């Protein structure tokens, strides 16, 4: 059985590295997309995605556009897509646009395991 995966879409390599480390500690591999233009290619090798962490501010595209693209892809109909951003003022907009959760950067490494557990159980996390 393949290890469950998390898709991380964020143009900041340091943030991606930190989140990937936290996910690894919880038993999830990460598929990392630093350049949104490579998203389609990365998805071709993804087969066990359980959660998506999506930054709102990306080069040449915003997270809401990527969200709508993923929501229109049948492979993501039952996968939680979590806004993952420093822009905490966007929490209401993220909710209205259809995100399944919201985590503010920087992540709290003490809270993250519980947050991830709740997300993977289908519980909304808006923090």
What are the pLDDT digits (tens) for 3-41?
Answer: 899 999 999 999 999 999 999 999 999 999 999 999 999
As for how many domains the chain has, the answer is: 1
C-alpha Rg value of the chain to the nearest Å: 13
3-state secondary structure of 59: coil
The CATH number of whichever domain residue 49 belongs to comes to 3.40.50.2300
Q: % helix / strand / coil in the chain, to the nearest 5?
A: 40, 25, 35
* pLDDT confidence of residue 47: 81
**Number of neighbours of residue 103 by Cβ within 10 angstroms:** 22
| pLDDT over 80 at 73, yes or no | yes
pLDDT at 46 over 80: no
Per-residue confidence band for 44, with pLDDT thresholds at 50, 70 and 90: confident
Interhelix angle 112-120/13-25, rounded to 10 degrees, is: 80
* Domain residue limits at 88: 5-126
3-state secondary structure of 108: coil
Cis peptide upstream of residue 106 (ω within 30 degrees of 0): yes
What's the rounded Cα separation, in Å, for the pair 17 and 107?
A: 12
Q: What is the DSSP letter of 75?
A: G
Residue 82 near residue 99 (C-beta atoms within 8 A): yes
* Tens of pLDDT, residues 75-127: 999 999 999 999 999 999 999 999 999 999 999 999 999 999 999 999 999 99
């Amino acid at each position: 059985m393949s290890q469950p995966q998390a898709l991380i879409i964020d143009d900041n390599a340091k943030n991606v590295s930190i989140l990937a480390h936290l996910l690894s500690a919880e038993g999830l591999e990460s598929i990392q997309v630093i350049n949104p233009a490579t998203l389609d290619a990365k998805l071709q090798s993804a087969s066990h995605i359980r959660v998506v962490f999506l930054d709102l501010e990306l080069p040449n595209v915003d997270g809401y556009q990527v969200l709508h693209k993923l929501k229109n892809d049948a492979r993501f109909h039952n996968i939680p897509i979590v806004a993952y951003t420093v822009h905490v003022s966007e929490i209401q907009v993220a909710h209205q646009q259809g995100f399944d959760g919201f985590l503010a950067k920087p992540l709290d490494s003490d809270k993250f395991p519980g947050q991830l557990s709740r997300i993977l159980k289908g519980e909304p996390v808006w923090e």
